[in-house]
Amino acid sequence: MKIQEIRCHLMQAGAPPQTGWTGTGKSALATSRNWLFVTVRADNGLVGTGEGSGWPRAVAAAVQDLAPLLVGEDARATERLWQRMRVACMGHGQTGVVGMGAINAIDMALWDLKAQALGVPLYELLGGATRSKVPFYVHAATPEAALAAVQAGAQGIKVGGIAKVVERAHAVRAAIGPDIDLMCDLHGPPWLAPADAVAIGRELEPLKLLFLEEPVAPDDLRGWRLVRDKVALPLAGGERLATLQDMQPFLAEGLLDVVQPDGGRFGGITQIRKLAGMAEALSVTVAPHSGSLGPVAEVGMVHLLSAIPNALVLERMDPDWEGRTQVMDSGLRVEPGFLSAGSGPGLDLRLREDFIAAHPSQRNVGLATGGWNAGTDHESVYLQARRPRARIGRDLENP
């Protein structure tokens, strides 16, 4: 089964009706979300599909650059081809999530191809099913939105952002009661000082969170150590990291209870599966980051979480743009609060290329809006207002 052709399918994804990510419900996703799908065609006529995030337009260029290294190679050699792509990225420096997004998309498509060729669902190649369905959680910024999501079956609710996050999380907990899992994501903004993250974390302790996510930025290991030392909550993170080596200090130092590889930019099934093994040895569970991704990466993560023993939960944007269900035909089964892998071979999906072509990429960057303190949206990170308490530190232009 030789690789014949690798194609990128880049598109503009529409705005979700509300994101629940932020205190205002506004988000950069509304105007600047791209989805990048990649298909790999083999000489036996089979087509494998994957997805790459991590800056989709840049990732698409990287996929096209990598393609000549793969055409003519045996599509079943997932590990060897993964290593070949990794080495090929070296000359461009540490390419982070862009390089790993490209590898992710191609690798996922190769695993899809291999499982199709063997006539089995992908999870069978990953050890077989340990569970028949994967629970998911959704985002909610208000008690009303949280309650509606719970009534629709969501197994957990996540509150995000910094602005009034303690107040919002307490209000959501009061609305949903103690039996629904609650998470809080501070999104680790570069301007949030570790001492403030500790203060927020301590105020969240009574809520018995499933996890506190990215209390500080992923490049601030000192800050993570401080939060770990001072806050009695399980910690989650990893969505902005690209390699096993990036994850290594977080796991080796015991800074994470839940690891969150991005399903579109962490090197695909090959590397995410290895990360799950590293995590298993440390009693760390896996909850892939998936909120802004398209549906192909989601299907890939459902197969992985169906197989690994330490799966916790999958993030889901629900409700999302209606195009999410129109971009592909798939065997994915959706029921309230749970996703189940299709029983067809591989990922059990096929892109609708006409629909993708009708939504060409137009804009791929946007500033985060809402959810931060006033004045922190559009400025240099070193000039932004820190977390204010009374007067000092408040943004004078946007009080």
Stretch that binds Mg ion, among 161-169, 177-185, 271-279, 326-334 (CB under 5 A): 177-185
CB of 187 to Mg ion, least distance (A): 6
User: In the window 318-347, what residues touch Mg ion (CB under 5 A)?
Assistant: none
CB of 144 to Mg ion, least distance (A): 22
Identify which of 159, 146, 161, 157 has the alpha carbon closest to the alpha carbon of residue 369. Answer: 161
CB atoms within 10 A of CB 224: 25
Q: Nearer to Mg ion by C-beta: 182 or 307?
A: 182
Q: Nearer to Mg ion by C-beta: 211 or 321?
A: 211
Cα(135)–Cα(114) distance, integer angstroms: 26
Q: Nearer to Mg ion by C-beta: 185 or 220?
A: 185
Q: Is 315 in the site for Mg ion (CB under 5 A)?
A: no
Note the Cα 3 to chain centre separation in Å: 28
Q: Nearer to Mg ion by C-beta: 38 or 140?
A: 140
Stretch that binds Mg ion, among 34-42, 140-148, 181-189, 200-208 (CB under 5 A): 181-189
Contacting Mg ion (CB under 5 A), which of 51, 107, 112, 185? Answer: 185
Stretch that binds Mg ion, among 23-31, 99-107, 182-190, 366-374 (CB under 5 A): 182-190
Q: Nearer to Mg ion by C-beta: 112 or 220?
A: 220
- What string marks each residue from 111 to 150 as x (binds Mg ion by CB under 5 A) or -? ----------------------------------------
C-beta separation of 220 from 194 below 8 A: yes
**By beta-carbon distance, which residue lies closest to Mg ion?**
185
- Residues 96-113: b if buried by 16+ CB within 10 A, e if exposed: bbbbbbbbbbbbbbbbbb
CB of 85 to Mg ion, least distance (A): 26
C-beta separation of 84 from 77 below 8 A: no
- Asked if 92 is an active-site residue, the reply is no
Identify which of 216, 213, 220 has the alpha carbon closest to the alpha carbon of residue 235. Answer: 213
> What is the CB-side half-sphere exposure of residue 343 using CA atoms within 13 A?
1
Locate the DSSP E strands across the chain.
Answer: 3-12, 34-42, 47-51, 134-139, 156-160, 181-185, 211-213, 235-237, 258-259, 285-286, 314-315, 328-330, 333-335, 338-340, 349-351
CB of 163 to Mg ion, least distance (A): 16
User: In the window 352-371, what residues touch Mg ion (CB under 5 A)?
Assistant: none
Task: List, in order, residues 6 or more apart from 99 with CB less than 8 Å away.
Answer: 62, 86, 89, 92, 242
Catalytic-labelled residue, pool 9, 139, 187, 359: 187
Q: Nearer to Mg ion by C-beta: 40 or 301?
A: 301
Between helix 78-90 and helix 56-70 the angle, nearest 10°, is: 120
CB of 203 to Mg ion, least distance (A): 19
Query: Quick one: 369 exposed, middle or buried, by C-beta within 10 A (0-12, 13-18, 19+)?
Result: middle
C-beta separation of 130 from 98 below 8 A: no
Catalytic-labelled residue, pool 9, 289, 303, 359: 289
CB of 207 to Mg ion, least distance (A): 17
- Asked if 359 is an active-site residue, the reply is no
**What amino acid positions are annotated as catalytic residues?**
187, 289
Residues that bind Mg ion (CB under 5 A): 185
